Chains A and B, each alone.
Chain A
Amino acid sequence: MAATASVRRKPSLYAAERRLALLMLAPAAILLLVFLLIPFFMAFGLSLTNQRLISPNPTEIIGLANYRELLDLRFIPLEPRLDPATNQPLRDSNGNLVYPTVREVLRANPETRFFRELAQLDFFGTRYLIAAGDATFWRALFNTFTFALIVVPLQTSFALMLAMLVNQKLPAMNFFRTVYFSPVVTTMAIVSVLWFFMYNPDFGLINSLLGLIGLGPYRWLEDPHSALFAIIILSIWQGVGFQMVIFLAGLQEIPQELYEAAQIDGAGRWQQFVNVTLPSLRNTTIFVVISTTILAFKLFVQVDVMTFGTGGPFDSTVTTILHLVNQGYRQQRVGYASAISVIFVLIVLAISILQRRVLTNQEN
C-alpha cells in the first residue's frame, strides 16, 4: 500500500519539478522564440518573395529566384575575337589574343544581363570568365572571412599579451588597465570617425608618424589593397581591451603554487607560459575565440561609417552585413536581403557547429 502510494506520488513530484523547470526556462525560451526563431522563419518566408521596403506594387511569391541570383556563379569560356577578313583570331600589337569585353559577353545572354565579373582565369589554353549574379555578395563573403581569419588569432594573442602585461604587480597598473579598456566603452561609430581622420593620407596622424621613420604616405582607405587592412587594425585596437579583461580574470584565477612548482622543476619563463598559463586558460581562450569569431562576422559599423556605406573602394571592404543592409534598406530589396540573411545564418551556424566539434574533441 505504502509502495503504491509512493509510486503514485513520484510522477506528481516529477510533474512539479517539470513545471518549475518550464517556468524557469520560460523567459529565455520566449525571448529566443520571439527575437530569434520567429524572425528567422519570417526572413525565410520573405526570402521567397520580391517584398520591397516601400512599394505600391503587391508582393509576389517568386520561389527560389532570390537564392538563384545570390548564389549563381557561371564559368563562361571566352572566345577570342576573330578577324572578319581572315577568320583568324585577332591579335593586338603585342601578339596577345583580343577578347570581347566582359560586359558584351554577359549582356549577350539575357540570363546573365546583370551579372558582374568576379575573375578571369586561363585554363588549358582557354580563358574562362567567372561571373556572378551578385558579385558583391561573393566579395563580401571573401572580405568577411579574411577579416575573421586575421582578426580572431591576432586579437586573441594581443589580448593575452596585454593581459599578462597589466597583470604584473607594478604601480599604476589600474591606470593602464583603464587605458587599454577605454576604446571598448567608446561607441564604435565615434572610434570610426576618429580613425577616419587618423587615416587621412595627407594630414592624418598615422601617416605623420610613419613619415617620421621615412615610410608612406599611404592612402589607407582610398587604396583597395589597404582599406580592409586599415579596418582590421582599428577593429583590433577597439576590441582588444574586452578580451584583455577576460584573460586578466582568467590569469588571476591561476593558483600561484603551480608557478612555484614549475620553478622548482626548473622551468623557465617560456616553459611556465606554455605548460602552466596556457593550459590553465583553456576555457577562457575558448570563450574568447568564440566570442571574437562571432563579433568578427558581424563586422558592419566601422565599414559603414568609414566608407559612407559603399563598402568601397571597389567592394574591397564590403561585408556580408553591410551588403544585407544596403540591399534591404538602401536599395529597398527586403526579399533579397532576407535571402542573404538566411544564407548568412546557415554559414555562421555551420562554423559554430564546427568550432564546437573541434573544441569538444580536444576535451576528450
Chain B
Amino acid sequence: MNRKVLVLFSALALLISLFGVNGALAQSPTVVTVWFHSGQGAERDALTAILESYNASQSVYRAEATQLPEGSYNDQVNAAAVANALPCLLDFDGPNVYNYAWAGYLIPLDDYLAQEPELAADLIPSIIQQGTYQGKLWSIGTFDSGLAIWGNRKMLEAAGVRIPTSIEEAWTLEEFNAALEALRAVVPPDGYPLDLKMNYGAGEWFTYGFSPILQSFGGDLIDRSTFQSADGVINGEAAVAAMTWFQSLFKNGLTSATPKDDNVFKDGKAALSYVGHWVYPEYSAALGEDLVLIPMPKFGERAVTGMGSWNWGITSTCNVKDGAWDLLKFLLKPENVKAFAEASGAVPALKSVLEADPRYAEGGPLHIYYQQLTQGVAVPRPQTPAYPVITRAFAQAVDEIAKGGDVQAALDKAADTIDKDIAENNGYAPR
C-alpha cells in the first residue's frame, strides 16, 4: 500500500515537473535580466532596438532590461552587489571591471569565448586588453573609445594652424601652445580656443580625458609595475609638469573651467574640442565638412590617448549564465556592433566591422581613432581593483587644479588617498 502510494506520488511529481518545464519553455522564455547605463539618446535607442530584436529572434530567453542613470551607475551596482540583487548581464565603465572581478561578482568569460573561435579572433586587441585581469577575461565591450581633438577647419585655417592628418604628424607641445595662441584671434569674444568639456564635472571624464596628458608628459596615475603605490608617480615631476601646463590653459584664458553649456564647439565659440568619440554624431551634424579630427599631441616623447569604454560582464549570482552569454553573443554580432557604432560614433569592437567601415579607413573622418588604437598610442586605464579610488582621487585633483589650486598639493593629496586605500585593502591581493 505504502509503496504504491509512493510510486504514484513519484510518477505524479515527475509528470508535473516534466510538464512544468516543457510548459515553461514553450510558453514563457527564461528571463535574463540586464542593466545598462542610459547614455546619449541615439546610443540608448540603438541598444533598445538590439535588445528587442534579440527577444524577437528566439524564444528560449527573454532580455528584460533596466536603464540606470550614468552619474551614479557605479554606486548603484555596488549597492545591488551588497544586496545580492545584481542582474545577470550588466554594462559598466571599463576600468571598474578589475574591482568587480576582484570583489568576486563577475565570472570569467574565457570558457564561453573559447567556444566561439570566430568571435574571439574578430575582437580588436584593445577590448581583450582592457577586459583582462589576473590572466582572465572578465568583460567584453561591443565598442572601444576614441579620444583626440575635434577641430573647426575654418577657424584653424583662418589662424594659419597646420592640421595634422595622421598620428605621425601630431602636434608637439610647442606647436599645440602656438596653435592655441593663434586661435585666440579667430574665436568670438565670448569664446576661447579650446573646449575641455569641463561641464561634464569631476567624474570619469576627468580621468579618461586628462590622464593621457599626464602619461604623455611621462607621468602616470600609479606605478604600473606593482600597482602598490601612486606616490612619486601621480605627484612626480612629470605629472606636476603636465598638470601645471594644464592649469596654465585656464589661467591664460585658453579654455574655461565653467563652460556655458555642452554646445560651445558646435556654436562656434571654441576652435578645438578635446573630447571623445561620443560627440561625433552631433558635431558632424553641426559642422559638416568643417569638422576635422586631430590626433593627440605629443606633450612629451610620445602621444598618448585613452582606450576602453563601457563593457559587458556576467555576474556570479546569475542563475542563467548561459542565457546571459547567449545575449552577449547576440550583442557582439557584426550587424549589432555596426548598428551601435553608427549610432554613437564609437570604434566597433570587431575587426570585420571596423575594417569595413569607411569612416575608419584611410581618409575617413575617424581614421585617427583607428590609428591611435591599433598603433600603440592608446593606453588602458590602470588595471587594478584600486581603480575606483584612483579615478575619484585624480578627478578631484583635476577639479582643484582647474580652479586654481596648488598643483603639487592637489596631486600629493591624490597620491596619499590612493596609497592609503591600497594599504587598507592589503594591497588588493588577488583572492
User: Which positions in A face B, CB cutoff 8 Å?
Assistant: 50, 52-57, 103, 114, 116, 200-203, 219, 222-223, 307-310, 312-314, 329-333
Contacts and interface: CB of A to CB of B under 8 A. Distances in A.
Contacts of B405: 313-314
Contact of A312 (B104, B388, B400): B400
A308 B105 contact: no
Interface of B: 75, 78-79, 81-82, 99, 102-105, 190, 201-203, 256-258, 260, 388-389, 392, 395-396, 399-400, 403-405, 412-413, 416, 419-421, 424-426, 431
A114 B399 contact: no
Contacts of A52: 425
B400 A314 contact: yes
B424 A310 contact: no
Given A56-B102, A310-B396, 5 more contacts: A116-B416, A202-B258, A222-B403, A329-B78, A331-B392
Contact of B201 (A103, A308, A329): A308
A132 to B, nearest CB: 13
A54 B103 contact: yes
Contacts of A203: 260
A333 B399 CA distance: 23
A330 B73 CA distance: 11
B367 to A, nearest CB: 34
Contacts, number: 73
Contact of B105 (A54, A114, A219): A54
Contacts of B400: 312-314
Contact of B420 (A50, A114, A219): A114
A314 B425 CA distance: 26
Given A313-B399, A332-B78, A57 B426 contact: yes
Contact of A329 (B75, B203, B421): B75
A219 B404 CA distance: 11
Nearest to A222: B403
Contacts of B389: 331-332
B190 A53 contact: no
A314 to B, nearest CB: 6
B425 A57 contact: yes
Highest count of chain A CB atoms <10 Å: which of B202, B258, B405: B258
B410 to A, nearest CB: 9
A103 B420 CA distance: 15
Contacts of A331: 389, 392, 421
Contacts of B201: 308
10 contacts: A55-B103, A55-B425, A103-B412, A202-B190, A219-B258, A309-B202, A312-B202, A312-B403, A313-B405, A330-B392
Contacts of A309: 202
A307 B190 CA distance: 24
Nearest to B200: A308
Contacts of B419: 114
By secondary structure, the B interface counts as helix
A237 B122 CA distance: 57
A314 B399 CA distance: 9
- Pick the most buried of B104, B105, B256, B403: most chain A CB atoms within 10 A of its CB: B403
A54 B78 contact: yes
A50 B256 CA distance: 41
Chain B CB count within 10 A is highest, among A54, A307, A310, A313, for A54
Nearest to B426: A57
Given A56-B431, A202-B256, A331-B421, A310 B399 contact: yes
B103 A56 contact: yes
Task: List the 3 closest pairs (A to B, CB-CB), nearest first.
Answer: A308-B201, A308-B202, A203-B260
Contacts of A50: 424
A182 to B, nearest CB: 25
Nearest to A69: B420
A225 to B, nearest CB: 12
A329 B403 CA distance: 26
Contacts of B81: 54
Nearest to B416: A114
Contacts of A312: 202, 396, 399-400, 403
Contacts of B104: 56
A114 B416 CA distance: 6
Contacts of A57: 425-426
B257 A222 contact: yes
Nearest to B71: A308
A314 B397 CA distance: 9
Contacts of B102: 56
Contacts of A308: 201-203, 399
A53 B260 contact: no
A240 to B, nearest CB: 27
Nearest to A117: B409
A313 B392 contact: no
- Of B82, B396, B421, chain A has the most CB atoms within 10 Å of the CB of B396
A333 B78 CA distance: 12
Contacts of A219: 258, 403
Contacts of A116: 413, 416
Contacts of A223: 403
Contacts of A201: 258
A200 B78 contact: no
Given A308-B399, A310-B396, A330-B75, A53 B82 contact: yes
Nearest to B409: A103
A133 to B, nearest CB: 11
A119 to B, nearest CB: 15
B213 to A, nearest CB: 20
A307 B399 CA distance: 9
A180 B258 CA distance: 30
Nearest to A106: B416
Nearest to A52: B425
